[in-house]
Structure 1
Amino acid sequence: MRRSGPLRALLSGATATALAAGLVALGGGGALAAEQAPAHAARHMPAHVVAPYFEAWTGESPAALAAESGNKYLTMAFLQTAAAGSCTAYWNGASTQPIAKATFGRDIAAIQARGGNVIPSFGGYSADTTNTELADSCTDVDAIASVYESLVKTYGVTRIDLDIEADSINNTAGIDRRNKAIAKVERWAERTGRSVQFSYTLPTTATGLAPNGVALLRNAVDNGARVDVVNIMTFDYWDGATHDMAADTKTAASGLHDQLAALYPKKNPAKLWHMIGVTEMPGIDDYGPEETFTPQDAVKVENWAVAKGIDTLSFWALQRDNGGCVGTAGANSCSGIAQDTWTFSHIFEPFARGIRAGIGIGID
């Protein structure tokens, strides 16, 4: 994911300090493999997940904001390496924030105690353009897999997200290493009786993935890496058009469904729809007013998501779910439109129970 200009990820701790905005990727460290499992038993992910992205570099408490907004699940952005060539991942790319209970452990345990969980996310635009996305940075497949495993062992998470875009989505060597590492972790999880899912968060056109996104998934198939969810970023199209954001979410997902059908010919339509996730950007995205996702759009998307039976609804990002900067495009901390705080969280919340949203907003 993104932030300023065409960037699809907020900046990491080190990057955020230097550049003061943007998304960052998470990375892990294999040195923590021996850490004790968290107190709260890991739960399987539910059939329908609402998991907005949480900007982990802000210093805010994910558990507190999850409780305030009513979200049981959060996607934590991001993990990445501190420097290109490293195989050690940190939250926000900051060496002071390793994958350890001391970093976010209390917050994650609190979220789990309330019946939810977090989805650690690697990558994002900042990491994907600086060679600090874990599989771009590290050339050792075993080391990459150890980082993923350390997240499961340390925090008791059951899904890991990989936000691959910009330079990373064209890095064929990194793609191949990442998918080999996914397959390795999945074999480890099966041997040890753990539940671990992987989602890919990818940029999209209004009609489906670009060829490089399809190629990434084809490589996963070829490597025997199970991809549980393909989560498309249905915003920041950068195509010069004015978009009906709800309608284009539906056409983008329909195109993805057809692409998945070609990749997974043994899956029926319902299973293919259940491999799909969508991530919106509430309010005015980085492109500008031509790409504005409104509460009315959110209701339409939530109702469509229930009807289609997709897996995940998300948005970038939880800290933007308020109306504190009307008229501002692509802000980190507000949507740029007039809205009550947590409007988008409340509209998406019924999806987790398979219920269509209403909230007094007209739908079609």
Structure 2
Amino acid sequence: MRHPSGSSRRPGATSGPLVAVCVLLLAACASPTPAEPRAHTPVESYVDVSFQPTGMADAVRNSPVRRFALAFLLAHDGRCEPVWGAGRPLSDPGLAAEIAAVRAAGGEITVATGGAVGDYLESRCASAADLATAYTAALDATGADGIDVDIETGVPTGLVADALARLQRERGTGVTLTLPVADAGQGLEESGLRLVRAVAERGTNLTVNAMLMNFPVSGTWRGSLLGAADAVAAQLTGLGLGHDRLALTIMAGRNDTGVTTTVDDARAVRDYADAHRIAFLGLWSLARDDGGCPGRPQAVATCSGLAQAPYDFVRTLTEESA
């Protein structure tokens, strides 16, 4: 929002000799027009719900992050029945206590389904109505206001799109599709783009979250991250979706493919996000935002592989751009 100039002069009013001065020195007399303030991009950290505790309660006390995505909701014993990873029940009291701590600090929760491994609900539910019901059970158990569907394998595209349309229509739930990047030139993989198209065609208001991780390097890794962001933005533009429907999620530190996303890389992605006013920035993951294993050559779930202080990544992502 632009701030008013503060001038109280009515149209047509004059101030004697000052008028002539202002004609000669217009630039000096004109009220300055403040630049449009740059909106800072919201930040969300993913948490691995199979960890007990997940770390959310500590994070809201000791870091600036206030929105968390609970990862991941899966199918229980091959049925269309939702359960957290490692078989943790939806109503687990320890998780409920952590969610309460987040809310007490003014935070919010998203339910994330799917992921890199595990038995997808999206592949086990026989109908869109059944899948929407499974999503609803997790939303009710957590009080979450959004569903984040992380698809990294084949799923029935029409069924998922119908379920999400139904969920948003009936509950007003926010919908995010989290999808892999093929490379910095292409952007999203074709299967992911088909899902985006199907969801959008059903009139669902969605955010597309590009996974800026684990794809081939072209030039520098930082250049690859920003190039992939541009490529995905162009794909969304082709579908009639603007930057406000784009989200970007990075992986703290060592990626599974061996490349390393540094805190400086995170800062560059944050600056890109602020400049383009995207929907949100994500971090995979809360437990990895820790320097407990500096120099480790393989990616692990509990530290970044970098020498860093706890929460360096979320602190960087939540800073205002210069």
Give CA-to-partner distance per residue, 1:240-294, whole Å, 9 cap, x none. x465333222221211111112212xx5xxxx11111111111111111xx2111
Moved over 4 A (4+): none
- Is structure 2 residue 308 aligned with structure 1 residue 339? yes
Write out aligned runs for 1:66-81 (5 A): 66-81=60-75
Q: Is the 8 A contact 2:71 2:112 kept in 1?
A: yes
- Bigger drift between 49-58 and 65-74 goes to 65-74
Deviation at residue 134 of structure 1 after TM alignment: 0.7
How far apart, in 2, do the equivalents of 1:143 and 1:184 lie? 11
Write out aligned runs for 1:128-207 (5 A): 132-165=119-152, 167-168=153-154, 171=155, 174-189=156-171, 195-204=172-181, 205-207=183-185
Q: Is the 8 A contact 1:79 1:93 kept in 2?
A: no
Write out aligned runs for 1:54-93 (5 A): 54-60=47-53, 61-84=55-78, 86-92=79-85
Write out aligned runs for 1:1-364 (5 A): 48-60=41-53, 61-84=55-78, 86-92=79-85, 94=87, 97-100=88-91, 102=93, 104-127=95-118, 132-165=119-152, 167-168=153-154, 171=155, 174-189=156-171, 195-204=172-181, 205-207=183-185, 208-222=187-201, 224-237=202-215, 239=216, 241=217, 244-264=220-240, 267=241, 272-288=242-258, 291-328=259-296, 329-350=298-319, 355-356=320-321
Give CA-to-partner distance per residue, 1:78-101, whole Å, 9 cap, x none. 1101232x110101151xx33236
User: Which ranges in structure 2 are unaligned for 5 or more consecutive residues?
Assistant: 1-38
- Bigger drift between 107-116 and 149-158 goes to 149-158
Instruction: Give 1:203's aligned amino acid.
Output: P
Report % sequence identity.
28
Aligned residues: 280
Q: TM-score, normalised by structure 2?
A: 0.81
Cα gap change, 1:153 to 1:260, in 2 (>3 Å): same
Q: Is the 8 A contact 1:71 1:349 kept in 2?
A: yes
Kindly name which structure, 1 or 2, has the bigger radius of gyration based on alpha carbons. Answer: 2
Q: Which has the higher strand share?
A: 2
Q: Is the 8 A contact 2:52 2:94 kept in 1?
A: no
How far apart, in 2, do the equivalents of 1:221 and 1:228 lie? 7
- Bigger drift between 336-345 and 144-153 goes to 144-153
How far apart, in 2, do the equivalents of 1:210 and 1:227 lie? 21
Give CA-to-partner distance per residue, 1:25-78, whole Å, 9 cap, x none. xxxxxxxxxxxxxxxxxxxxx984211111111112422233233311111111
SS of structure 2 residue aligned to 1:110: helix
Q: TM-score, normalised by structure 1?
A: 0.72
Give CA-to-partner distance per residue, 1:127-183, whole Å, 9 cap, x none. 2xxxx2111111122111112222333332111111101x33xx3xx2221111001
How far apart, in 1, do the equivalents of 2:86 and 2:197 lie? 29
Cα gap change, 1:315 to 1:245, in 2 (>3 Å): farther
Give CA-to-partner distance per residue, 1:304-325, whole Å, 9 cap, x none. 1111101111121111111111
